[in-house]
Structure 1
Amino acid sequence: MKKTKLMTKTKKFRTFEGVFTPSILTILGVIMYMRLGWVVGNAGLFGTIIIIIIAHVIAVTTGLSISSVASDKKIGAGGIYYVLSRSMGIPFGGSIGIALYVGTAFSIALYLVGFAESLNGYLGFGMSINDIRLTGTLALVALTVLALISTSAALKAQFFILAAIVISLISIFLGTSEYTPETVHLFSDEGSVPLEVVFAVFFPAVTGFTAGIAMSGDLKNSKKSIPLGTLSAIGVGLVIYLGLAIFIAFNVNSEVLKTDYNFLMKMALFTPAVVAGIWGATLSSALGGLLGGPRILQAMSIDKVTPKIFSKGKGVNNEPVNALFMVFIIAEAGILIGELDVIARVVSMFYLTAYGFINISYFLESWANPDFQPTFKIKRWIGLLGFIACFAVMFKLDMMAMIGAFSIVALLYFGLQRKEVKLQSNDVWRSVWENVVNKGLKKIDAQIDKNTNWNPNIILFSGQSEHQYYLLELCKTVSGRTGIVTNFKLIVGKDNYKPFKKTEQIVRDNTFNHLGIFARQIKVDNIYNGITNIATTFGFSGVEPNTIMMGWPKGLENSVEYSQMTQTLLHLDYNLLYLDFDKKTKFGNYHTVDFWWRETDSKNAEMMLNIARFIIASPRWNDTKIRVLFINNNNVDIDVVHSKISELVEDLRVNVEIKIINNAVEQQPFYSLIKQHSEFTDLTIIGIPNYKIEKQAEFVLKTNDLFETIGSTLLVKAANNFNILDLDFIKDA
């Protein structure tokens, strides 16, 4: 029994062999040996130092960000992909994970093309592009076989390579050069490659720290090993790159640096040591990619982001064999490009994109997620700095490539979103929105809401009927682009002593989702008490409801309960909107809207003009002709009335037709004039006058009679926060 347990026990790695060693070997790789001199030759010493520092700002901020997130979450297989998908969701993590995976696979090609250049040059083999391709392909096949045989053996081989790199660096620093310059080349000169191109070629040198993170699923203690191993590798790499750049600048002239990629062999104290270091570094970096890349793909396939075939592994350690073959194919495609500088620029874009989003992931986690409690704590602004640095560099390097990278990530994101791949864990976006809403509500609540523009927050009681959609549609139109509408379905019953659970109160269906309306269902013992209770208690600070909308109450003229409800709504100072919907004409062609004004409609008039603004902004009503009809009962000069109304309308930036109806002589009832002029109007909007509650039955009966003649009508009663528009024009006559 004990023997079986020992045989099935998986091999787990510590910080040094699992994170630091693969990371530092990738950092001190092909760029250091084959292109650092070229960088110094083209950028000068100061330019090189600036390039190294900017690159390491991105590396350090990204390393700090990923280390902090890693110390908060359980890190599974897949490294950076795993972290991003668990913090920002599968669509986001998957799109960046794919970019990182492709970047990792291409970086293998980068290292092996560098190896081929060195090997062929040193042994006198051909240096044509086809020769480089052949050597690189053979090396890729050999390393793939090693990765297939044993991950543990591959990691152990890295210790010998690390020793070879250390010996090669000692040999370089103890060497002498016959190309010592008369003066140190401090800046780039005429004929040098632009600094943006130099940076793009150099940047893959600092991407090596992801090699250790990609092994996260094989670590004994990832929360401790990832921060310690990653940051140690970045720090050691920075010191070596700065030291070597200064040494090269003082010992080799710029012309040699620009043209001879193998000058380090010539100046070293012991050339074979440098050769061993170059070959070991390039091969180990490629091997690191072959170990880490498949694990990213395997983790994505387990989460159903990529095809399931790549999730299958072999052995007790579930080695990602299928995923390894896919990495082999992409790496081979990169080798067939055959030019190290071109591959380096491609790799830079993929990594910069991934690193930018790693940093913003940490920033959002630390800013918004109350459950984010990393043991490795850093300042929040570090993630934001890393995000800005990544995309500033991308913009400077190649704006079109940056746009292309964004487009690819966006397509992957929307593709995964449509695929609806989800995890059981919550992503950070919910916390982000909650934080934004929380801070926004506090800002809004701190402001004194007095005579401001109407921003509708409507409680809607639509009722269940075949015509419900029209009331929902008009309510959403009247609420405008930023208004909030919450529809309540009231379920009446005497046995409603037990309310719905909070989760059961939420109603979700395609109609409400399409219109952007929130919906709730509530049990009530009486519909009028239900409306009153909701109007009294619903809402929260910052976005208190300010408007009640419902259908017009035909047949309730003598209802005491309805009268009491109306009194309460008026006392609470809600804006009231009542729609009488004509089931035959509906809203006609959505082409004509009439607003009826009279001298007593001072507040209602301004509310109508606000509604007019929202109506004409709606796509359904965008070709609407709006009329303001004013009843001139006092024989005031028409030009005076027209001029004053024009000023009011112009102030509110609403384009309407103004029609003055002289009624001083005939003194026709208000509703009779409406019947004459708005009989064929698609939507008529009328203000509810101030009346004593005991007159409600009379008002309802007269209004019912009006609705028999005209089409769909909206009655409005403005709250006290609306301005008073002076419609008494006698004093101006």
Structure 2
Amino acid sequence: MSSDNNETVSGRLGTFAGVFTPSILTILGIILFLRLDYVVGAGGLGNALIIIAVANLISVLTSFSLAAIATNMKIGGGGDYYLISRTLGIEFGGAIGIVLFLAQSVSIAFYCIGFGEALAAILGLTGHVTIQLIAGTALLFLFVLAWIGADLATKFQYGVMVFLTLALLSFYIGGIRQWNTGLLMENWGAGEGSAPFWILFALFFPAVTGFTQGVSMSGDLEDPGKSLPTGTFAAVFLSILVYISVAVVFAAATPLKILAGDYGAMKQISMYGWLINAGVVAATLSSAMASFLGAPRILKSLAADKIFPFLNPFAKGYGPSDNPRRGVLLSFGIAVATISMGRLNLIAGVVSMFFLISYGLLNYATYFEASAESPSFRPRFRWYNKKISLVGALTCLGVMLAIDFRTGIAAVAILFAIFQYLKRVSGPARWADSRRSYYLKLVRDNLIDAQKVPEHSRDWRPYVLVLSNDEEHTKQLLAFSALIEGKSGMTTAVRILQARGYRAVKLKAEAEKDLARIISEKESSAFSLVLVSEYTANGLSVLCQSFGIGPIKANTLLMSRHEQSVNDDDPVPFLNYRELIRPAVQSGCNIILWDPKDLPETAEDCGKQRTIDVWWKDDDTSRLMLLLAYLITRDGPWEGAKIRLLACYLDRDNAQIIQMLSDTLDEFRIQAEPKVVLGINETVFLNTSGQADLVFIPVALKKDNNLMFGDLPVEQLLPRLKTVAMVMAAQKIELDSTPEEGRAGEMALLFDELKHAEKRVAAAKKKALQAAKSATDFIKNADDMPLNDPDLLTHLKETLALQEKSEEADKKVLKEQAKLMEISQRARDEGLAVDDEEQ
């Protein structure tokens, strides 16, 4: 392989040929030769330098982002599209890919039109048709170069670079000869009739939109991770020096009025004016050639990813360098159509906005990747901070809106429309992007924050374990779990396998795939888990106790009543719910046994007569059932269903009882119809709930493993009911607790008690010090009194009394300190921070 400064074998390009050359030639374009003089003349040298600095700030910031992301992954073809799609995902990538291809294809036409205008002016020709013919001829010439491949096009760019270099040298020599320091100082400020800052900025900004042309060649580079940062930084910093130095020479050699009124000022200053003409021609052709090389390669990479099916034919390449000729042909067609349109100011503005959006997304993609704090983010480029990328993204957005608010909004709207289209129609992800890492980072941060806040009954949510080894049962349970989640909880579908050794590994992998398939077919948001245990009950007990992370722990087990038979020879046995209830309850999990028969899942199925019965005994199980019933009615097909609260623990039925139940429901903030049911027997029960769409029943498991609703065996009731959820609470369920109750209130009381104890210790110490000081002063005074002083005896008695008071004060301090130590230990046990220095 050759060095970075030369083309490599098999059409592979190094840093100079593949990145630096197309980037610098696009940046040093027609704005430099025909518009920078006007920017200096209309705004003054000071404003011109600010415009150059702000515009190039985007280039520098984006180059830092590019260097970080390009040295953090293996770069494929497609440039900006590849980097954004592999970071932000298929939707953002596809949207920016299609608009970048169109923008660069249209840019080919713009540069060719610029070439036509320049050449027509040099030759003294006039007429719009003449310019279009010249532009079309140039376009055909460039098409031939792009069709042959990047090798020949790169050699052509070497020739263009020679003319650009000679033109700049001629300008610098002529400018130095005409240098006038006094004129330079005079031209620092804006003259009369100066143009607004942002208009001048909009005129100049296209000059810096070519620094990512080398990125578009990423698929043709020998070492993209090395070439992209090096070549881009070199092109950006060299172009900054050129633009600043040319602006200074303009101001030192020509008055502002002449600069503002003559687009040919560079030619007048140059030692050889014809070299400026050659430079203008070379600049426009080089910019067009760079776009002709970049656009088809973006299209080829986009087509290879199969995001838009109609673009799939453009994934094919030709020759050793895999030249995207089909993309070249399409870009040629778009450019021809663009040239034939004539005046293109509106499209030109949108195209510029697309480039700005791509820079902004590239910055944001890098910030997004870095913010995920994934261990895989290890860029070889060391001079990077994610704040640089964030500033770069915000700067791009601000510049877009400042240049042309309406055009910026139009460009964003187009991109957003494509994004939404891809979000709806795109299939599964074809590559790993950074979104999952970012979501995991949010999960980590939020779990840590949630752990710091004391648990409260108001925060209770259903974290459901759906346990079944049968496919049909699993599907039914997932449907019911989605209802009781109420869009507030989470569900995990669980299978327990009875196996051990190496065979268990294979069985687990197969079961995981099968469970993932079931969840996908049901379009469920549930997670999946496969557990291997020699004994199912033991495995479930461990699962209920250990499932979750931090404050997210399983609190409810959902099973089907129909899983009752066990085959010890089957590694995926049916689960006998009777054997699993006790270990689950002992592990702190609420139990829901579901007996589905005719559960309506859509509004059409349910009609307007949907009814949910909750058999109420005013205990934790009753409150859990009522809460689940409410969650079912909160959204979806069961929204608005009628809940009946059937109180079956009372011995009388009157208006006061109904009012008490109504008040209870008001406290719970749940709409339900209270009803008292007396004298429960099988007939009464079935007459009451036989027509309900869903019935919640509190159950208990007796020693003989029979489920009982009071004195009624549940098995006798189920055949004549529709859909039944049998519930057994294993946790304290509160529906009317105030924010001050619970652990938060207890912690607050303990904190206050600790602070009061600290204050009592401080007060006791202060009092002890005062008593000790008083006793010491009296002793000192007694020593100074003569022995025959009649007051000496009285003074000694008072001194002894003060000493006794001081000793009592010291004992008080020790007593208060002991209490403080006891309270402090309780606070530590509860997780409160205790300042040991206070003790």
| TM-score normalized with structure 2 length | 0.74
Distance in 1, Cα, partners of 2:499 & 2:460: 36
1:593 to 596, 611, 614: 611
Residue in 1 that maps onto 2:10: 10
Contact 1:97 1:296 in 2 (8 A): yes
Residue in 1 that maps onto 2:62: 62
Alignment of 1:345-494 (within 5 A): 345-368=349-372, 369-377=374-382, 378-410=384-416, 412-413=418-419, 418=425, 420=427, 423=430, 426-462=432-468, 464=470, 469-490=475-496
> Greater shift after overlay, 90-99 or 37-46?
37-46
Residue in 2 that maps onto 1:581: 596
> Greater shift after overlay, 370-379 or 535-544?
535-544
Q: Secondary structure at the match of 1:578?
A: strand
Q: Which amino acid aligns with 1:547?
A: T
1:342 shift after superposition: 4.5
Q: Secondary structure at the match of 1:617?
A: coil
Residue in 2 that maps onto 1:284: 286
Residue in 1 that maps onto 2:558: 549
Residue in 1 that maps onto 2:581: 566
Residue in 2 that maps onto 1:235: 237
Distance in 1, Cα, partners of 2:476 & 2:322: 58
Q: Secondary structure at the match of 2:125?
A: coil
Alignment of 1:722-733 (within 5 A): 722-723=733-734
Task: Find out whether 1:333 has 2:342 as its counterpart.
Answer: no
Give the direction of change, closer, same or farther, for the CA distance of 1:593–1:346 in structure 2 (3 Å limit): same
Give the direction of change, closer, same or farther, for the CA distance of 1:497–1:393 in structure 2 (3 Å limit): same
Residue in 1 that maps onto 2:517: 509
1:579 shift after superposition: 2.3
Distance in 2, Cα, partners of 1:53 & 1:8: 36
Q: Which amino acid aligns with 2:137?
A: L
Across the aligned residues of Structure 1 and Structure 2, the Cα RMSD in angstroms comes to: 4.0
1:325-380: per-residue Cα shift (whole Å, max 9, x none)?
22222233333344575454233112112112212222233333422322112112
Is the radius of gyration larger for structure 1 or structure 2? Answer: 2
Q: Secondary structure at the match of 1:449?
A: coil
Give the direction of change, closer, same or farther, for the CA distance of 1:678–1:398 in structure 2 (3 Å limit): farther
Contact 1:172 1:264 in 2 (8 A): no
Give the direction of change, closer, same or farther, for the CA distance of 1:401–1:442 in structure 2 (3 Å limit): same
1:720 shift after superposition: 2.8
2:723 to 712, 717, 722: 712
1:264 to 260, 263, 266: 266
Contact 2:172 2:249 in 1 (8 A): no
Residue in 2 that maps onto 1:143: 142
Residue in 2 that maps onto 1:610: 627
1:698 shift after superposition: 5.2
1:231 shift after superposition: 0.9
Give the direction of change, closer, same or farther, for the CA distance of 1:715–1:311 in structure 2 (3 Å limit): closer
1:575 shift after superposition: 1.9
Give the direction of change, closer, same or farther, for the CA distance of 1:312–1:471 in structure 2 (3 Å limit): closer
Q: Secondary structure at the match of 2:457?
A: coil
1:303 shift after superposition: 4.1
Task: Find out whether 1:679 has 2:690 as its counterpart.
Answer: yes
Residue in 2 that maps onto 1:173: 175
Distance in 2, Cα, partners of 1:356 & 1:129: 36
Give the direction of change, closer, same or farther, for the CA distance of 1:686–1:173 in structure 2 (3 Å limit): farther
Residue in 1 that maps onto 2:742: none
1:446 shift after superposition: 4.2
Q: Which amino acid aligns with 2:72?
A: D
1:577 shift after superposition: 1.6
1:643-677: per-residue Cα shift (whole Å, max 9, x none)?
554454345443x243242x7xxx51377654343
1:4-25: per-residue Cα shift (whole Å, max 9, x none)?
xxx9943554433432232222
Alignment of 1:95-134 (within 5 A): 95-126=95-126, 128-134=127-133
Q: Size of the alignment, in residue pairs? A: 705
Q: Which amino acid aligns with 1:353?
A: I
1:170 shift after superposition: 0.8
Residue in 2 that maps onto 1:209: 211
Distance in 1, Cα, partners of 2:44 & 2:664: 69
Q: Secondary structure at the match of 1:577?
A: strand
Distance in 1, Cα, partners of 2:474 & 2:76: 50
Q: Secondary structure at the match of 1:452?
A: helix
Distance in 1, Cα, partners of 2:74 & 2:720: 70
Q: Secondary structure at the match of 2:213?
A: helix
Contact 1:201 1:348 in 2 (8 A): no
> Greater shift after overlay, 614-623 or 35-44?
35-44
1:278 shift after superposition: 1.8
Residue in 2 that maps onto 1:3: none
Q: Secondary structure at the match of 1:515?
A: coil
Task: Find out whether 1:539 has 2:583 as its counterpart.
Answer: no
Contact 1:500 1:523 in 2 (8 A): no
Give the direction of change, closer, same or farther, for the CA distance of 1:514–1:209 in structure 2 (3 Å limit): same
| Residue segments in structure 1 that go unaligned for 5+ positions in a row | 1-6, 727-733
1:620 shift after superposition: 0.9
Give the direction of change, closer, same or farther, for the CA distance of 1:176–1:333 in structure 2 (3 Å limit): farther
Q: Secondary structure at the match of 2:210?
A: helix
| Residue segments in structure 2 that go unaligned for 5+ positions in a row | 1-6, 566-575, 738-839
1:437 shift after superposition: 2.9
Distance in 1, Cα, partners of 2:257 & 2:410: 35
Q: Secondary structure at the match of 1:278?
A: helix
1:468-499: per-residue Cα shift (whole Å, max 9, x none)?
64443222100121321122345679999735
Distance in 1, Cα, partners of 2:37 & 2:681: 91
1:713 shift after superposition: 2.4
Contact 2:14 2:223 in 1 (8 A): yes
Q: Which amino acid aligns with 2:587?
A: L
1:187 shift after superposition: 6.2
Residue in 1 that maps onto 2:776: none
Distance in 2, Cα, partners of 1:232 & 1:708: 80
1:422-461: per-residue Cα shift (whole Å, max 9, x none)?
65x5332333333333333333344443323322110113
Give the direction of change, closer, same or farther, for the CA distance of 1:8–1:342 in structure 2 (3 Å limit): closer
1:304 shift after superposition: 4.3
Give the direction of change, closer, same or farther, for the CA distance of 1:132–1:198 in structure 2 (3 Å limit): farther
1:690-718: per-residue Cα shift (whole Å, max 9, x none)?
x8757956558533333344432223333
> Greater shift after overlay, 477-486 or 670-679?
670-679
Distance in 1, Cα, partners of 2:665 & 2:188: 72
Give the direction of change, closer, same or farther, for the CA distance of 1:334–1:693 in structure 2 (3 Å limit): same
Task: Find out whether 1:627 has 2:644 as its counterpart.
Answer: yes
Distance in 1, Cα, partners of 2:473 & 2:496: 17
Distance in 1, Cα, partners of 2:214 & 2:633: 59
Contact 2:614 2:626 in 1 (8 A): no
> Greater shift after overlay, 234-243 or 76-85?
76-85
Give the direction of change, closer, same or farther, for the CA distance of 1:165–1:337 in structure 2 (3 Å limit): farther
- Greater relative contact order, per chain length (Cα 8 Å cut-off, separation 6+): 1
- Percent same amino acid among aligned pairs? 30
> Greater shift after overlay, 365-374 or 587-596?
587-596
